[in-house]
Structure 1
Amino acid sequence: MTQVNTLVITGYGTNCEVECAHAAKISGADRVEIKHFSDLISGDTSLTDFNFLILPGGFLDGDDLGAAQAAANRWRHAKTEQGEPLLDQLKTFFTNGGIIFGICNGFQLLVKLGLLPAIDELYFERQVSLSHNDSARYEDRWVHLAANAKSPCVFTKGVETLYIPVRHGEGKIIAKDEATLAALQENNLIALQYIDPESGEVTQEYPMNPNGSPLGIAGLTDPSGRILGMMPHPEAYNHPTNHPSWTAGKTAELGTVLIKNGIDYLKSL
């Protein structure tokens, strides 16, 4: 059984790292560490010591210059104090079988880096982006999601629906053309979609779809299924009492099931 060593990256405005680390711990990770991005640069921390990377949400770089754009540039061009390009370390991490989960700003970082959706396995080539919500406001609410059973994503295996919170101002998927959207569908790279809880159908209607993303896209995966990025916050629903109607006896499957699935996948190797 593979030991699951989880690294949660923080810094530059990120503020959901403690929730993410807690979610990983209660989901069965053997080792969980929260490290500042600068620890990667100094060499105090190396991705080679981990097999699960979580890029949490929060106001990364204050969302200046566009959500996660500055962070993506940092990952692309930074070198460790030993002279190693940090991007090479990230590539090695993924090549060696590591899994990556980006939430909210972490999702934005993954698409800006080009790790998602990686259509035709073109990694580190930006194919989609994220822009301001159609509502032109910060959305803080709970949403219903459906998982794509045909998706290769290891995080969503066995998951049908989720009810978890969103809290973002820039969550609308923007594709460079219609062919890109078609490829997302054809290759089942759309892992999670916003749905109408009454009909169960994918929706673009506000507020069920809080940002106006086409095809109701709430989360994307890559062809390997080992990367998941999503705008809603599954780590924020880590106990039944987090549910907004728990006092009325209403609960749903915990959002942490996605993190547990990733951990279980690694342990099965």
Structure 2
Amino acid sequence: VDVHMTDLIEGRHRLEDFKGLAACGGFSYGDVLGAGRGWATSILERPGLREQFARFFERPDSFSLGVCNGCQMLAQLKGLVPGAEHWPRFLRNRSEQYEARLAMVEVLDSPSILLAGMAGSRIPVVVAHGEGQARFDQPGHQDQAAVALRFVDNSGAVTEAYPANPNGSPAGITGLSSRDGRATLMMPHPERVFRTLQMSWHPAGWGEDSPWMRMFRNARAWVG
């Protein structure tokens, strides 16, 4: 179901009617000058909407995913998300430019319900962002955060080197989970490579679905 912010603001939809929220990428606010922050501000500055999001995140039967601009937005809403207090903000890429390419990420062992059963996988994924560099607010937050995805180089080693790490995030961090796993955010775009034909190359044995399809099947299985 496509739900626009105006639908929530004007009451045509309410989050209480849904179990899952996918905050998508797609050049929110022109993808410049804190695009995700502008999106989050449109929620935080409206008391009724802020309360609606807080109630949704607190519901034990809800899950959420933030991708790219949606990742930036959820990171700015971390005060409303249980178990997300150590999440970073996502700031201008170290390269000072928009980066769009296939990158290699490793899925880490995290509580994320969407990445269940995928830990240890190293999978190509689309990146397309200008503001993806993770910046933690306090010393120690990086060590306490539930990191779910990180950039690796061609040998599988964690990297901060450009271009394998397109934004310069520390320790290659590019995806995180809340402590209970119901909220997941990431800068890469798995929804753009869920089919093998969207890959520049793939092993012949993969068939039609890429490994990223597992995320969406995990969501369906969790909802039950």
> Is the structural similarity TM-score above 0.5?
yes
Identify the match of residue 216 of structure 2 among 259, 262, 266: 259
Do structure 1's residue 152 and structure 2's residue 111 form an aligned pair?
yes
Aligned position for 2:122: 161
**Cα distance, 1:95 vs. partner?**
2.2
Identify the match of residue 129 of structure 1 among 64, 89, 100: 89
The aligned amino acid for 1:37 is M
Name the % identity: 32
Residues 115/56 of structure 1: CA separation in 2 closer, same or farther (3 Å cut): farther
What is the TM-score normalised by the length of structure 2?
0.89
Residues 116/93 of structure 1: CA separation in 2 closer, same or farther (3 Å cut): closer
* 2:3 counterpart SS class: strand
**Cα distance, 1:230 vs. partner?**
0.3
Aligned position for 1:91: 54
| Aligned equivalents of 2:81, 2:162: Cα separation in 1 | 25
**Cα distance, 1:36 vs. partner?**
1.3
Residues 40/116 of structure 1: CA separation in 2 closer, same or farther (3 Å cut): closer
Identify the match of residue 76 of structure 2 among 104, 107, 112: 112
* 2:65 counterpart SS class: strand
| Aligned equivalents of 2:64, 2:215: Cα separation in 1 | 12
Structure 2: where are the runs of 5+ without partners?
Answer: none
Aligned position for 2:197: 241
**Cα distance, 1:128 vs. partner?**
2.2
* 2:35 counterpart SS class: coil
Q: Indicate the RMSD between aligned Cα atoms, in angstroms.
A: 2.2
Residues 249/137 of structure 1: CA separation in 2 closer, same or farther (3 Å cut): farther
Q: How far does the alpha carbon of each residue in 1:177-207 deviate from its partner, in whole angstroms, 9 at most, with x for none?
A: 33111222xxxx0001111232x22111111
* 2:2 counterpart SS class: strand
Number of residue equivalences: 219
Larger deviation, residues 253-262 vs 225-234: 253-262
**Cα distance, 1:114 vs. partner?**
1.6
- The answer (yes or no) to whether the contact 2:54–2:81 under 8 Å persists in 1 is no
| Aligned equivalents of 2:117, 2:80: Cα separation in 1 | 22
* 1:91 counterpart SS class: helix
Aligned position for 2:179: 223
Q: How far does the alpha carbon of each residue in 1:69-109 deviate from its partner, in whole angstroms, 9 at most, with x for none?
A: 11111111225xxxxx1121112222222100000000000
Aligned position for 1:63: 31
Residues 250/138 of structure 1: CA separation in 2 closer, same or farther (3 Å cut): farther
Residues 250/136 of structure 1: CA separation in 2 closer, same or farther (3 Å cut): farther
Larger deviation, residues 51-60 vs 63-72: 63-72
| Aligned equivalents of 1:245, 1:237: Cα separation in 2 | 11
Q: How far does the alpha carbon of each residue in 1:152-176 deviate from its partner, in whole angstroms, 9 at most, with x for none?
A: 1111111122211000011000112
* 2:131 counterpart SS class: coil
Larger deviation, residues 175-184 vs 228-237: 175-184
The aligned amino acid for 1:260 is R
**Cα distance, 1:127 vs. partner?**
5.3
Do structure 1's residue 72 and structure 2's residue 40 form an aligned pair?
yes
The aligned amino acid for 1:167 is A
Q: How far does the alpha carbon of each residue in 1:18-38 deviate from its partner, in whole angstroms, 9 at most, with x for none?
A: xxxxxxxxxxxxxxx002111
What is the TM-score normalised by the length of structure 1?
0.75
- The answer (yes or no) to whether the contact 1:116–1:222 under 8 Å persists in 2 is no
Identify the match of residue 98 of structure 2 among 138, 152, 158: 138
| Aligned equivalents of 1:235, 1:250: Cα separation in 2 | 21
